[in-house]
Structure 1
Amino acid sequence: MEKNNIKPTEGEMEILQVLWAKGRCTVREVHEALDKKDAGYTTTLKLMQIMHDKGMVERDTSSKTHIYNALISEETTQQQLVNKMIDNVFNGSAARLVMQALGNQKTSHEEIELIKDYLSKLENK
C-alpha cells in the first residue's frame, strides 16, 4: 500500500496523533498518552504492530525496547481524510463542510480571525 493512500482507522489515528505530538515513542509511552481505561497495553502493542505492517510507522529494534515513529505526515493524512469526507459526506462541497463545522462548534474569536486571514489569502491568489 502506498503511503499516500493509507487511510488510518480511528484507533490508528489516536496513535498517530501521539507520535506526531511527541515524536519517537515506545509502545508504553503511547499507551500511557492514550490513557484508555478500556484498552490494555497488548491492544496498543497489536495495533502498532499492524500499523508497522501497513507502513504507517517505523520500528527501531536496535535496543530491547522498540521505538516507533510515524512514517506518514500529519498534514498529508489530514488532507486525505478531509478530502474523503468532503467527497463522501458533503457531496464534494467544501463550503458545506466548513459551514457544518463552524455551526456545530463554539469558534473562538482567534479562530475566526485565522479563517478570515486564510480566506483573504485564497481570494488574492
Structure 2
Amino acid sequence: MPPDSDSPLPTDAELQILRVLWSRGPSTVRDVLEALDGDQGYTTVLKHLQIMFDKGLATRDESGRAHVYAPATGEADTQRRLVEDLRDRAFGGSPETLVMRAISSEDVTEEELSKIRALLEEADGEKDDASSA
C-alpha cells in the first residue's frame, strides 16, 4: 500500500534505513544491516523493516528465500512530506518563516545561497509564465 498524506512519517531510525534503500535499491535485511555499518543488530533492522512495511513506508518481495524490501516512495516525496510537517508544526504553516530560519543559519555557505537565489528566480519565472498564459 503506497503512503499518502495521511500515512505516518518515518522515525529517525526508519529514515536511516530508507536512505540505505534509496541509495542501494531493493535490499535484504542483511544488505541494510551491512550498509548501516553495524550500528544496529539484525533483529532490530528486521523489526524496523517489518514496521515500515506495516506503515506503508516500505514494500516487501516475499518471492525468494530472503525477503527483499524497497522504499514505497521516492526520497523527494518523503522529504517534501517531512518539510510540510515541520513547516506546519514548528512554523505555523509559514513557508516564509521556515525558509528565513533555514537561511539565517551560520552553516549556510555562499554557494548554497547562490543556488537558493537561482531556485527562487526560476520559481518566480514559472509564476510569471503561468500568469501570462
Same fold (TM over 0.5): yes
Superposition TM-score, scaled by structure 1 size: 0.87
Aligned Cα RMSD in Å? Answer: 1.8
**Structure with max Cα Rg:** 2
Over 3 Å counting, the alpha-carbon distance change for 1:34 and 1:104 in structure 2 is farther
TM-score normalised by the chain length of structure 2: 0.82
Q: 1:49-105: CA deviations, max 9, x gaps?
A: 111122221111222122111112212211111111111101122122122222335
Aligned to 2:131: none
Map 1:1-125 to 2 at 5 A: 3-4=3-4, 5-6=6-7, 7-37=9-39, 39-124=40-125, 125=127
Deviation at 1:23, TM superposition (A): 0.8
Q: What count of residue pairs does the alignment treat as equivalent?
A: 124
Structure 1 runs (4+) greater than 4 angstroms displaced: none
Gaps of 5+ in 1: none
Distance change in 2, residues 1:47/1:87 (3 Å): same
Q: Residues 76 and 43 (structure 1 numbering): CA distance in 2 closer, same or farther, change over 3 Å?
A: same
